[in-house]
Amino acid sequence: MEKAGQTPKDIDLILGACGIPYQTLPATAPLVMQRLGFADGTAAAYDVNATCLSFLSAVELAASKLALGQASSVLVFAADIASRALPWEDQPEVAALFGDGAAAAVLTTADETGSGIAASLLRTYPSAYAACEIGAGGTRFDFHKDLEAFARHAVFHMDGKELFRVTHKHFPQFVDELLLKAGWDRRDIDLVVPHQASPLALEHMIRETGMDRDKVVDIGNTHGNQIAASLPTALDIAWRQGRIEPGMRVLLLGTSAGVTFGGMALEI
């Protein structure tokens, strides 16, 4: 907020975009609103959950609210403590992929003509719904009637082969559809900011989509997969490193549990 020159009096919508919330009920956004010192009734606050694509989905929603005149300034935050539920005993190779992190952005209407979202796209492939999950914490398992099952499903589980199958089959076409919607081809892209699912997944994405490796932000080996905070953390690091400048075309890409692919074409 300080970096954006904003105070609580300027912001009228707060969107929580955590893959895993602070607690099941209520949403995390009202808690953040409270701790930031917002006065009661001065803004709306609620959560958007699309697991690893929560930030991108919240930005898409924020853009719609801004375009419709239903908000003038939107705060979007993502914060995930992956280390709380990692399968170190059963899948240590999976657990080692993750990291904790937090990121936030303030969105307002663009001052310059031509800057903004050129295209946004989400597509879901629910055939692989169970390939990536934490089963406990909702209504699926009864804590009182089956504590053992609840505890067993309170850690993260991933079927890497199933996720690879879906991604290999559909992701290149998804990227083509997003670029067509934006009116871009791969030569138009100045920078690719992906969700840092894993080093292997990132290499697979570069190979399958034909992206220029030098234009891809890669922080997986240093920060890990920070769930919903992963993509905005990579975006912030690219900005701090001077890799994003006015006039550039930036492509955000990611995948999430469910399974969903997401992308956004930004004109800076």
225 counts as catalytic: yes
Question: 2-35: per-residue pLDDT in tens?
Answer: 999 999 999 999 999 999 999 999 999 999 999 9
pTM summary value: 0.95
The residue annotated as part of the active site, out of 18, 52, 132, 153, is 52
Catalytic, 49? Answer no
Out of 195, 204, 221, 223, pick the active-site residue. Answer: 195
In b/e form, how buried is each residue of 191-230, taking b as 16+ CB within 10 angstroms? bbbbbbbbeebbebbbeebebeeebbbebbeebbbbbbbb
Q: Kindly indicate the confidence band of residue 112, based on its pLDDT and cuts at 50, 70 and 90.
A: low
CATH 3.40.47.10: which residues of the chain?
13-113, 117-267
CATH of 117-267, one of 3.40.47.10, 3.40.309.10, 3.20.20.70, 1.20.1260.10: 3.40.47.10
Give the mean pLDDT of 110-123: 87
List for the chain the helix, strand, coil content (%; round to 5). Answer: 40, 20, 40
Q: What is the pLDDT of residues 58-73, one digit of tens each?
A: 999 999 999 999 999 9
Element (H, E) at 220: helix 220-223
111 pLDDT above the threshold of 80: no
In the prediction, which pLDDT does 219 show? 97
Q: Dmax over Cα atoms in the chain, in whole Å?
A: 58
Would you say residue 113 has pLDDT above 90? Answer: no
Which of the residues 49, 132, 153, 225 is marked catalytic?
A: 225
* pLDDT tier at 114, thresholds 50, 70, 90: confident
Residue 132 bears catalytic tag = no
Strands 249-256 and 260-267: antiparallel
CATH of domain 13-113: 3.40.47.10
Cross-strand partners of 138: none
pLDDT in tens, 93-107: 999 999 999 999 999
Instruction: Please state the rounded mean pLDDT for residues 190-208.
Output: 95
SS3 160: helix
Beta strand pairing call for 44-47 and 13-16? parallel
Q: What is the pLDDT of residue 110?
A: 79
- Is 115 a residue whose pLDDT tops 90? no
